[in-house]
Structure 1
Amino acid sequence: MRVSVPGIPQAILDAKHDLSIKSISEATKRLAEFIGGANVTLLTGAGVSVDSGIRAYRGEDGRYMNPNYKPIFYHELMDSTEKGQAYRRRYWLYFLILSRKQNAQKLHSRLRSYLGYPSVRDALPNTTHFSLAALQHTSHISHIITQNVDGLHHKALRNSASLSGAAARLQDNILELHGTLHRVHCSSGHKVDRDTFQDWLSAANPEWRQYAEDLERTGTQPRTNPDGDVAIEHLGISYSNFVIPECPQCMLGDHINPVHKPGVIFFGESIPSATKERSFREVEASDKFLIMGTTLATYSAFRLVKHALELKKPIMLLNVGPTRADGLPGVEKIDVPSGAVMRQVAKEVIGTRAGMDPVIIEMLESGTENPPPPDDDDRAPRAAG
């Protein structure tokens, strides 16, 4: 089976597009004009989570720009043979080791939201997440379609104490296009929350739990592969004795099933038809389509842009660096980071209410600013097998 990692066509990377807005003041003005008075559907990608300490996939330092990058594909993780079991041992062992780390800053410097659960679990919403939550609260943004699996859009709403019962309603308007890291399911479809599964891993592997505690005590961090995997062979140890727990619900039916995967869409795995159809409906229901923090390299995202263009929706794209939509007629590009503008954009769009409504005031005063350190370069070669 041949599965490839989606990327930006080389012709786009080689082209020189000079139509992007790069000024912070002009970007703020244009975004406020675009969002104000409209029913906007928003598509977000990894770029909006960078200030939460989760590095973007592509861009200048993105791991998908590394030619040595080899992720774990869906068919590999779900393979019922010993080869698939080896992939799963290494994959889940990584999370058991990293889950023992309490220093979120160290985790964030090594990981990314696609697979790195421990860092995602501990990550905090940044100023962009809270600004977007404020625009959800005021109904300027009616729906968010996110490619991110970190749950930070949801967390920004849950962490807004003044929002009270409205948070659940607003969270229902967030569609996780590529799933979430916060749930796990077995190959038969039985679901469990991720923290519970983490406890199962620890209970089934006391020796590895001790090893993880030793790493934590000494401050040692194994070098990770770009797909959220961990390379430990160079340490002289093997993960062949790592135990993946069986699904307890399958065991009730006299079926032994240790095949588990996180609730994210892996490369080579199809997005559920209901999710795809809902994403199209939300684009159709909007007046305008705003895209933020994504290169649109995956077709699941890019086809939404194509659909919006077919419907002649106004489209604005906020992203640093090249994207798959660069140069497309009908797409206005702003080349600045979301964290540099979105708080001010929200204030301008919301107007006087931003200084009077306690919910909005709280949101626009909230948000971490914790970008990954610049010296952690994911383009360096990594072991890939």
Structure 2
Amino acid sequence: MRLSVPNIPPALLAASIARPTPQIPRAAAVERISEFLSPGNAVVLTGAGVSVDSGVKAYRGKDGRYMNPNYQPIFYQQLIEDSPRGAAFRQRYWLRAYIGYSPVRKTLPNTTHYALAALQHAAVIPRLITQNVDGLHHKAIRRVWDEETIKERMLELHGSIFKVQCRHGHEYPREVFQDWLGAANPRWKTYLDDMERQGIKPKTNPDGDVVLENVSYDDYVIPNCPDCLSEGRTNNVLKPDFVFFGESIGQSVKDRSYKFIEEADRLFVVGTTLATYSAFRLLKHAIELRKPVLLLNVGPTRADGVHGVDKVEIPTGEVMRDVVREVVGGRAQYDPVLRDMLLSGVDAPPAGYGDESRAPHAAMTSGPVSPASDFREPNEALS
């Protein structure tokens, strides 16, 4: 079996690096984006780059390459495999995800999240699609939208880290499952509690996974699904409610994402290389419908050179607040919600961000297990 991480096609990546889009002055970028959004009824498609200023690492660096070439993510087929090999993958995944979830849960929206939320509040961008599973867009807009409105106007294309589901369809809040994992693995709960008391923050991927070195996963216990037990079967094949590498999005989500594009007059793409086809096809759909498309991203993307796509190359955090002020005009002064959102948001990108495009994540060292483990992670070839 040959599994690969979605990426920008090599020929396109090479051409984009050879002929990069020039970064334009900040004032010119604000003007172009504002002119694009001012007519309203825009749909926004966001990616991991939007969450970087919140301290969440993106999958790809500023040169468009996958940032962790030596890191092997677990694929959907591996996670659900009903075999001892699949069980080993699940132990590895859930131990690392148990450690990595806490930093993601505590992450706060940044200035771009709040700028987009301000435009949502102002009805400039009534619909938003995100590839991110971190829930930060939701945190930003909850100040003014209730859960029903969020569900109606926002779509998590790849799911959410805040839910867990078993292979038979039972679903649980992630916080509940974290408690089950901690109860089943008290040594690791103590380890995680100690980390949090000491303020240690592991380097975490956008899906909540961390790298652990010199650790045995053999004795890590994954709790059984309680609803399955009540139905008379044993089942500990559970996964976060998001799309893994190698997994397809559901038809209902795909249909809804297309509908969002069709109901809008224009598409604003922010902070993504569009390496995953589930996102790239939305851009293609907008172009097929002759809708204007503007892409705001730093570095090469899969859409570079695509006819009908205008691109602005500048970090989102440098421009989006000013874009809001330009688009909403005087409302930014007298609307208390807009004023509040334009003053909100963290600005805390990961240390060294942008300098790691060819280096693997720094890894955490061993926890409360012997570093002399002979465990070997299954090795799948990645293209």
**Structure 2 length-normalised TM:** 0.87
Change (3 A) 1:228 1:356: closer
Deviation digits for residues 290-342 of structure 1, max 9, x if unmatched?
10000000000111111111111111000000000101111100000111100
CA distance in 1, matches of 2:192, 2:226: 25
Label 1:231 to 1:32 Cα distance change in 2 as closer, same or farther (>3 A): closer
Deviation (angstroms), 1:359: 1.1
Q: Is the contact between residue 297 and residue 323 of structure 1 (CA under 8 Å) also seen in structure 2?
A: yes
SS in 2 for 1:254: coil
Q: In 2, are the aligned partners of 1:90 and 1:230 still within 8 Å (CA)?
A: no
The corresponding residue for 2:40 is: 38
Partners of 2:296 and 2:314 within 8 A in 1: yes
8 Å contact 2:275–2:301 — kept in the other structure? yes
Q: Provide the residue aligned with 1:140 in structure 2.
A: 124
- Whether the aligned pair in 1 keeps the contact of 2:67 and 2:356 (CA below 8 Å) is no
Q: Which residue is 1:358 aligned to?
A: 336
Moved more, 293-302 or 167-176: 167-176
- Mapping of 1:366-381 within 5 angstroms? 366-374=344-352, 377=356, 379-381=358-360
Q: TM-score, normalised by structure 1?
A: 0.87
User: Which residue does the alignment assign to 1:265?
Assistant: 243
Matched residue type, 2:5: V
CA shift in 2, pair 1:221/1:42, >3 Å: closer
Q: Take 1:226 and 1:286, find their aligned partners in 2: how far apart are those partners?
A: 28
- 1:248 has 2:214 as partner: no
> In structure 2, what is the equivalent of residue 68 of structure 1?
70
| Gap runs ≥5 in structure 2 | 364-376, 379-383
**Hey, what does 1:334 align to over in structure 2?**
312
SS in 1 for 2:88: helix
Asked if the contact 1:157–1:167 (Cα under 8 Å) also holds between the matched residues in 2, the reply is: no
Corresponding position of 1:172: 152
2:11 matched residue in structure 1: 11
Are the structure 2 counterparts of residues 249 and 63 from structure 1 closer, same or farther at C-alpha, using a change threshold of 3 Å?
A: farther
Root-mean-square deviation (CA), in Å? 2.4
Q: Deviations over 1:197-222 (max 9, x none)?
A: 00000111112222334555667777
Which residue matches 2:115?
131
Is 2:181 the counterpart of 1:194? no
CA distance in 2, matches of 1:38, 1:224: 36
- The code of the aligned residue for 2:120 comes to Q
Note if 1:149 corresponds to 2:133: yes
Q: Partners in 1 of 2:104 and 2:85 — Cα distance?
A: 28
Moved >6 Å (runs of 4+): 218-227
Corresponding residue for residue 184 of structure 2: 204
On the 8 A contact 1:61/1:379 being kept in 2, the answer is no
How many angstroms apart in 2 are the aligned matches of 1:166 and 1:215? 34
Cross-structure match for 1:120: 104
* 1:286-365 alignment runs, 5 A limit: 286-365=264-343
Would the alpha carbon gap of residues 37 and 225 (structure 1) be closer, same or farther in structure 2, given more than 3 Å must change?
A: closer
- Distance in 1 (CA, whole Å) between partners of 2:33 and 2:200 is 44
1:92 CA displacement:
1.2
- For residues 121 and 153 of structure 1, the distance between their equivalents in structure 2, rounded to whole angstroms, comes to 13
**1:128–1:338 Cα contact (<8 Å) kept:** yes
Question: Which digits, 9 at most, give the CA deviation of each residue in 1:220-251, with x for residues without a partner?
Answer: 777879985555452xx522111100000000
Of 200-209 and 126-135, more deviation after overlay is shown by 200-209
Figure out how many residues of one structure are paired with residues of the other and give that number: 361
- Match for residue 61 of structure 2? 59
Contact 1:232–1:238 under 8 Å retained in 2: no
SS at match of 1:261: strand
**2 CA distance for matches of 1:233 and 1:365?**
41
Q: Partner of 1:80 in structure 2?
A: 82
Question: Per-residue displacement from partner, 1:114-150 (whole Å, max 9, x unpaired)?
Answer: xx43222111011111111111111110110100000
Q: Which residue number corresponds to residue 373 of structure 2?
A: none
Deviations 1:257-298 (A, max 9, x none): 111100110011110001001111111111111100000000
1:152-196 deviation line (CA, Å, top 9, x unaligned): 1100012x2xx2x55641453110000010000011110000000
The 3 A distance-change label for structure 1 pair 40 and 66 is same
- The verdict on how the C-alpha distance between 1:213 and 1:166 changes in structure 2, with shifts beyond 3 A counting, is closer
Structure 2: how far apart are the matches of 1:349 and 1:135? 8
Task: Tell me if the contact between 1:55 and 1:62 (Cα under 8 Å) persists in the aligned partners.
Answer: no
Distance 1:245 1:367, change over 3 A: same
SS at match of 1:276: helix
- The code of the aligned residue for 1:335 comes to E
The 1:40–1:20 alpha-carbon spacing in structure 2 relative to 1, beyond 3 Å, is: farther
Between the aligned partners of 2:158 and 2:264, the Cα distance in structure 1 is: 21
